[in-house]
Each structure stands twice: as C-alpha cells, then as structure tokens.
Amino acid sequence: MAIGYQSQRPSSASGNSSTQPGPKGPAVIDVRNVHRIYESEAGYVHALKGVSLQVARGEFLCIMGPSGSGKSTLMNLLGCLDTPTSGTYLLEGLDISQLTDDELAELRATRLGFVFQSFNLLPRATVLRNVILPLTYTDLPAGDRMERAVKALTSVGLPATYFDHRSNELSGGQMQRVAIARALVNEPAVILADEPTGNLDSATGEMVLKTFARLRDEGRTIVLITHDPEVCAWGDRTMHIRDGRLLSDEEERAVVAAHGGTGRGLT
C-alpha cells in the first residue's frame, strides 16, 4: 500500500502562499473541497467548510489559526484519525475514504509521523525504547529496529549519551527531539506536528524548529499547525484557517482588514 520516499532538497518557497504545490514535485497531500460536520448536543457543527489543500513532497507547510478555527479537525483528517463528511483526501494518491479501518491503521503506522505539544513519551522508558516503540509490531528484526532508532535520534541531533536516559530525565527540548525521532523511525511520507513548541521556552522552541528545518532540507514533508506567527516564519509557506475555511496570506490580510485591522472576534 505504501509509496516509497523520494528524498530531495526542496527549492525555496518562502512567502509563497498558494494552495497549489510549487516546483518541488507532485502533491503528497491532496485535499479537495472537504467538509466536516459533527453532531453535538447543541446541534450540528460545520468544522471544515470546503477546504482544499495541496502539499508537495519535501515542503514545510505551516497552518496557523486561533482556537476554535478548525485546526484540530484538519489535523485529525490529515492524520487519518477522521474522515471527511464530504470531499476527497488523497495521501500519496490513496483515497482514504476507500480504505478499511485496518488499512487506515497501517497507513497511520507506516506513512505518517505525529509530533504533539505534550510529547506523549513513556516517562520511565529510555529514550531508545520510546523511539523503538512504533516498530514493536512490525516484522523488523530487533537489530534493525535498534539501527533505525539510533539513525532517527542522530538525525534530530540528540547526543548518544542520552539514549539510555529515561525520558523524564530530559529537558523539554530534548523530549521534543525524542518525539520527533519517534515520528521519523518508520520513515513516514509526512510528519504532522501539532503545536510542537507550545510547551517550550523561546530558545528551546527555536532549537526544535531548526530540527524541523533541517529535516525539510533532507527532503521530509512537514505540516505544522500553530497559532504563533513566529513559528510560521520557519516554514516554506503559511496557510491560515478561520471559521473552518483555509485562507492564503493575501486572503487572511483581507479578512483582517475588513474587521478593522485587528482580526479580533474572528475565529
């Protein structure tokens, strides 16, 4: 089911806010006119309203929006944790609506890497154990699992002296590097990062963002969701989400200008 990685260094796309992929290659993520409607006690919630998005292989995309804008819903959809009410989501050409639950689970395990604000590490397990964990249910021999974990940790710049430390003995920045290495260990097509610097101070957050930028330069595809414009400065391209709609930089500026230049009260 999985499609092989085509590692390549992306060309610079800073400031490009188009929803279409640039010259870096075909879209690894292709979202077409997606709507997501939930039923709640208060009635129906239209969380995503006609979202379309393409992300090229090797691109570092930031999606920015305030609380309640639809960021989490979009991240769940991109991570195959949820499916659209209508519209199409293609991941490496695969229509996720046509996959069984088992196939979706395999897709999440092999083609997607997740990085969360709260790290989600096992506190009493060693760094190596945390990174090897996603490989536990694969048919890889133990030696290959160890080799992949060491490679992933090395790629995020964590010194080998920390590999046998428990994760609760690390600093916040070190824990986030371990979380990124865990996301990389299955060599996924896309890394999805949800507010990865939200629990970090500015200096540590910058260190983590440099790690993402280096991974992008190595050909990794990264989608990072945040509310912080300073974080978005590290990406190739920024999209904005408001009230379930995805906007380019130009569209976002127009919306803010129409509301007095502050954007207050907008979601």
User: Whose structure tokens read 């050909």?
Assistant: 219
Instruction: Report whether 194 contacts 225 (CB < 8 A).
Output: yes
Residue 144 lies in a domain: yes
pLDDT of residue 232: 93
Q: Is residue 170, in this structure, part of any structural domain at all?
A: yes
Domain-located, residue 10 = no
Q: Is residue 169 part of a domain?
A: yes
pLDDT at residue 266, rounded to an integer: 53
| pLDDT, greater one: 65 or 251 | 65
Q: According to the model, what pLDDT value does residue 24 have?
A: 54
* CATH number of the domain encompassing residue 237: 3.40.50.300
Residues whose CB falls within 8 Å of the CB of residue 126, separated by 6 or more in sequence, listed in order: 163, 164, 165, 166, 167
> In this structure, is residue 140 part of a structural domain?
yes
Which residue matches tokens 């659209």? 84
CA 91 to chain centre: 13
State pTM to two decimals. 0.83
Rounded Cα distance between 121 and 6, Å, is 29
Domain count, the chain: 1
Residue found by looking up tokens 């804008």 in the block: 69
- Asked if the structure places residue 21 within a domain, the reply is no
| Structural domain for 151, as ranges | 58-79+101-258
CA distance 149 to 128: 6
pLDDT in tens, 171-194: 999 999 999 999 999 999 999 999
Q: Using a pLDDT cut of 90, give the percent of the chain over it.
A: 69
- Model pLDDT for residues 191-200, shown as the tens digit of each residue: 999 999 988 9
Asked if pLDDT for residue 2 goes beyond 80, the answer is no
pLDDT band at 60 (very low <50, low <70, confident <90, very high): very high
Q: Report the relative pairing of strands 60-64 and 222-226 from DSSP bridges.
A: parallel
Dump pLDDT digits (tens) for 99-135. 999 999 989 988 999 999 889 999 999 999 999 999 9
Strands 245-247 and 86-91 come out as: unpaired
Decide if 47 is inside a domain: no
Its sign, for the CA torsion 106, 53, 7, 147, is negative
Q: Is 152 inside any structural domain?
A: yes
